[in-house]
Structure 1
Amino acid sequence: MNFNKKLAVAVSGAVLLMAGQVALADSATDIVDALVSKGVLTEEEGKLITKGHTSKTAVTPVVKEKDGAYILESANGRNSIQLTGRMHFDYRDSDIDGSIGGRTDDRDTASLADQFELRRARLGVKGKFANDFKYEVVGNLPGTATVDIAYLDFAKYEQVQLRAGKFKQPFGLEQLISSNNITMMERSYLDQTVPSKKLGFQVMGTPTKGMTYAGSIFQNSDVELNINGDGKSSAAGRATLNFAEIMGNKEAVMHLGIAGLESNYAISTSSSSQTETATPSATSRGTISSFRSAGRGLNNLFRGQVGGENCASNASYACASEYGASVRQRAYGLEGILATGPFKLMGEYSAGDYRGQQQANQTKYDTTTYYLEAGFFITGEKYADSYKNGVFSSFKPKNEFDIDKGQWGAIELALRAEGYEVDNVAFTGTGGRIQGSLQNTTENSQGNKAGAKTYTAGIRWILSPNLIMKANYAQTNFDYAFKPIDINTTAAPISNIDKERLLMFRTQYMF
């Protein structure tokens, strides 16, 4: 072997030894192939050099990058792991902070404050193993760390897949769209009536192009609450059709969906530590459900409660520490999306009923929630590009933000109208009540009503798949003027309020 050939062999060998990462593997092999083709190396010498390297790369994990996220995958592609995370940092300004009178140090007025909020900070991992099993585990970091989701899928077949663990239940289009990908900063009133992330088991799939289904059984608490098994009979189901996909139209979304829910859960009861008077209440109650204004503004626009144990007659026990109450919720939902090119209309409607029970005490009422949202990408992105399996996923700008190139990412303008209504209120026994924006200010009035409507304008600036800025302005009109509940008015009276205005901003990062 002459000197040049020895040098080529040495260089080739050195390159291959350094090519431990798959990013260099192909280029190193190309170098050897080029040397063989030019006659510098013989085919036998080329094979000899690459032989050991080929066997090594056959078991070397592969690092892949997609939209700012990195995935470590086994060489055979059957196993993978990816680190995931998100951070949503908000600022919120309310026009009714301090304007209602009363004490500004009252703890129940906290939702009126102008404030920064670390809305979400999560870290997790997801991936697959044995090719057919997928997993995801995500933890919430702010405050006391908790498990956000943790599930395992058997996903060999698109038509029928199985999921077990803690995951989003199949009810509510807006809920099933990731918080990273919703248009507005916050979801609508309808989202405040859905089960969200619960422990359970689900069957789901895509039986044919353009169709999805999911059905689950679940429980409402991560821990035991009573001997009856908190959620043994809770179930939810959803089915969708995208007629545009069925017809082969990749430029549009024509989505219809239906969903149903029956949820049974336990609630704790307690006596109120603070009321509208200086004397704490001795009545034990448990909260069945409540509404907060859109945009995470004023708390308890509506609150429904069932009476608990009689504190006076159960003096041998610490009041409300011994017994809880049960709640049954039933609901159905309708959803739709009409999108073509950079324009979309999306809406949902849900109707249901709640029944809270504690021995002879019962509180019942019906709820209706709805919204209609319009969006338009002034930069031309198409909504159909991000629609998959019955929901919107992440949006990728046509031109990612790059100030040096004069590229600004994607910009979406949006409007949303939404509302909730509560009616057919009925009480049995004692202690039950509803509060908030009520037609009749008597809290235990049979047949009472409650409601509010919110109108939101928003802008979403998608700089890249990893970075989003949002701004929202929302006005909530209460159907009936009211005084915010559970505020101590001993020091000063409180004025009725009939509307709320919120200005909100978000910086959002995810990978």
Structure 2
Amino acid sequence: MNFNKKLAVAVSSAVLLMAGQVALADSTTDIVDALVMKGVLTEEEGKLINKGHTSKTKAVPVVKEKDGAFILESANEANSIQLTGRMHLDFRASSLDNDDLGMARADDRDTASVADQFELRRARLGVKGKIAKDFKYEIVGNLPGTATLDVAYFDWAKYDAFQIRGGKFKQPFGLEELISSNNITMMERSYLDQTVPGKKIGLQVMGSPAKGLTYALSTFQHNDNERDLNGDGYLSGAGRLTFNFAESMGDKENVMHIGVAGLENNYSATATTSSQTDTSLSSTARATIQSFRSAGRGLNNIFRAQIHGESLGASSLASNLEFGAKVQQRAYGLEGIFARGPMKVMGEYSGGQYEASQTVSQMNFDTKTGYVEIGYFLTGEKYADSYKNGVFGGFKPKNNFDLDKGGLGAIELAFRAEGYRVDDTSYSGSASSRFQGTLSGPTGSGVTSKATTYTAGIRWLLNPNAIVKVNYAYTKLGNNYAPIDLEQSSGSANSADVGAESLFMTRLQYMF
């Protein structure tokens, strides 16, 4: 009997003689080894078959599945590509969406923020993977409205202690900002996150030179494309250093994390007209230096600092040169996490200074932002399981939600207290510069602004890919104010003084 016939007989015999044993084998190699052990094939014949099979598999890409995502990887594991995506569908109801308050104006975009509404908060698609083993990449696009680039970066990641990243990516400032929107506990980040640079184009060195220790240092530009020369004096920079005492001691059950960060951000602020679409009410061009929105994406511009800026339609060359303003932001940040089993306490504090100038005006003010967040998993998941390189990543329920098997998924209860304060305010030059919002006095120098928000939330992780969130946020403004933006000279006024806001929010979230 020749070899080919013998092989055919061997396969047939395997099915009959080994029944379920070989039927359960998960590879050609396993089957051949079983046939050799049964004496159906000789050892030499088995090696010959396995050699041919192995030579083919070395050239065939492998499809892997991880947490609902599929990865196409080369047989030598040096190259890979993975499709990624997320969708966050929100509903938001505000206590200020009430006609009796007299706030509704069709031509005012600030008060439109209090409308009860659905919002496709995020819809993104991207790819990520590795090239030649030591290089990693990720490209993600935003889909709603006009498609834009969310992140696009390339890493040299041969060593844990020293890596290089270039492209558009999150800058190393702000613990909460560096946690993916897929993995934050609450629906929205805190006031502190409204002062961080976020995703910018630049270059970064980073690494973890010892257990529990991470560092990152970057240089970046504020705008994807500089809109004028005001922001071009020199590049911006950010840095962050963290240490997890528990990890350094080999403790995998707890997280004891501290971190510090610094920021110097230089950028140009472009002048625009007021939020009123009726330009007969407001036509002065101003550049917004910094603004705050109430927590949970509630009421817009509860604080806004705006510096005088001539419009591009000005008649003189001198006026055209006054367009926009140069802004310098300096800030420091402190952060901490203590997590033990299913319980965590996480907090951040940041102090910042803003200096803005243009031809005829100058403006200065300080900001202080911070929060404390408490979380507890009723279903027993450990926060330490999702902590890596100084941030929290994705959580995996002990048991995925499954009605047939009685699985509940993971259920987390959370509470956050947060706030901001603006003080040491001053401006000089043009009288059209202004501070707006919940102020301690008139819009001139020396005013302060503040707000405090308390948020209670439930995060229900059905499985690693699907999450339901419910949040309730109550915001107490430091001082009452009328949100509608009208010029004082127009003679119009809004009698609706707002001192507090309540928001009820829900989210359906899917990611892979």
Q: Give the TM bin, normalised by the shorter chain.
A: over 0.9
Partner of 1:407: 407
How many residue pairs get aligned? The number is 498
Does structure 1 residue 286 correspond to structure 2 residue 287? yes
8 Å CA contact retained: 1:164, 1:200: yes
The alpha-carbon distance between structure 1 residues 60 and 309, as it changes in their structure 2 partners (threshold 3 A), is: same
Find out whether 1:482 has 2:484 as its counterpart.
no
Q: Which residue of 2 aligns with 1:17?
A: none
Distance 1:181 1:102, change over 3 A: closer
1:463 counterpart = 2:462:
yes
Shift of 1:118: 0.3
What is the CA-CA distance between 1:8 and the residue it aligns to?
Answer: 2.9
2:60 alignment partner, SS class: coil
Structure 2 counterpart of 1:126: 128
Q: Quick one: distance in 1 between partners of 2:178 and 2:381?
A: 22
Q: TM-score, with normalisation over the residues of structure 2? A: 0.92
Deviations along 1:77-99, one digit per CA (max 9) or x if unpaired, are: 11111110000000000011134
Contact 1:300 1:485 in 2 (8 A): no
CA distance in 2 between counterparts of 1:301 and 1:366 reads 16
Shift of the 62–11 alpha-carbon distance from structure 1 to 2, 3 Å rule, reads farther
| Native 8 Å contact 2:230 2:268 kept in 1 | no
| Shift in alpha-carbon separation, 1:481–1:265, aligned structure 2, 3 A | same
CA contact (8 A) 2:281 2:486 kept: no
Q: Which amino acid in 1 is paired with 2:189?
A: R
Q: Which residue of 2 aligns with 1:350?
A: 350
- Of 154, 165, 169, the residue aligned with 1:152 is 154
State which of 142, 159, 172 in structure 2 corresponds to 1:170. 172
1:295 is matched with which residue? 296
Structure 1, 30-39 or 339-348: larger mean CA deviation: 30-39
Query: Cα distance, 1:25 vs. partner?
Result: 9.6
Following TM superposition, by how much is the alpha carbon of 1:402 offset from its aligned partner in structure 2, in angstroms?
Answer: 1.0
1:256 to 248, 255, 258: 258
Give 1:472's aligned residue.
471
1:25-174 equivalences under 5 Å are: 27-98=27-98, 99-108=100-109, 109-174=111-176
Which residues of 2 match residues 190-205 of structure 1 at below 5 A?
Answer: 190-205=192-207
Alpha-carbon distance, 1:280 to partner:
3.0
Alpha-carbon separation, structure 2, partners of 1:122 and 1:237: 28
Letter in 2 for 1:300: N
Once the two structures are TM-superposed, the CA of residue 461 in structure 1 deviates from its matched residue by 0.3
Once the two structures are aligned, what percentage of the paired residues are identical? 64
Report how far residue 156 of structure 1 moved: 0.5
Contact 2:272 2:311 in 1 (8 A): no
Instruction: Kindly indicate whether residue 395 of structure 2 is the aligned counterpart of residue 361 of structure 1.
Output: no
Q: How large is the RMSD of aligned CA atoms in angstroms?
A: 2.5
Distance 2:440 2:227 in 1: 35
Query: 2: CA distance between counterparts of 1:88 and 1:283?
Result: 37
Q: TM-score, normalised by structure 1?
A: 0.92
How much does 1:432 deviate? 1.4
CA deviations on 1:233-273 (whole Å, 9 max, x unpaired) are 20000000111111221111111000000000011113336
Are the aligned partners of 1:328 and 1:354 in contact in 2 as well (CA < 8 Å)?
Answer: yes
CA distance in 2 between counterparts of 1:6 and 1:251 reads 53
Task: Judge which range, 226-235 or 377-386, deviates more.
Answer: 226-235
Stretches of structure 1 that go unaligned for 5 or more consecutive residues are: 15-23
> Are the counterparts in 1 of residues 157 and 164 from structure 2 also a CA contact under 8 Å?
yes
What is the SS of the residue equivalent to 1:56?
helix
Residue 473 of structure 1 and its aligned partner are, at CA, apart by 0.2
Corresponding residue of 2:449: 450
The Cα shift of 1:427 comes to: 0.7
Distance 1:113 1:231 in 2: 41
Structure 1 130/201 Cα, relative in aligned 2: closer, same or farther at 3 Å? same
How far the C-alpha of 1:381 sits from its partner, in A, is 0.6
2: distance between equivalents of 1:495 and 1:361? Answer: 31
Kindly state the Cα deviation for residue 358 of structure 1 after the two structures are TM-superposed. Answer: 1.2
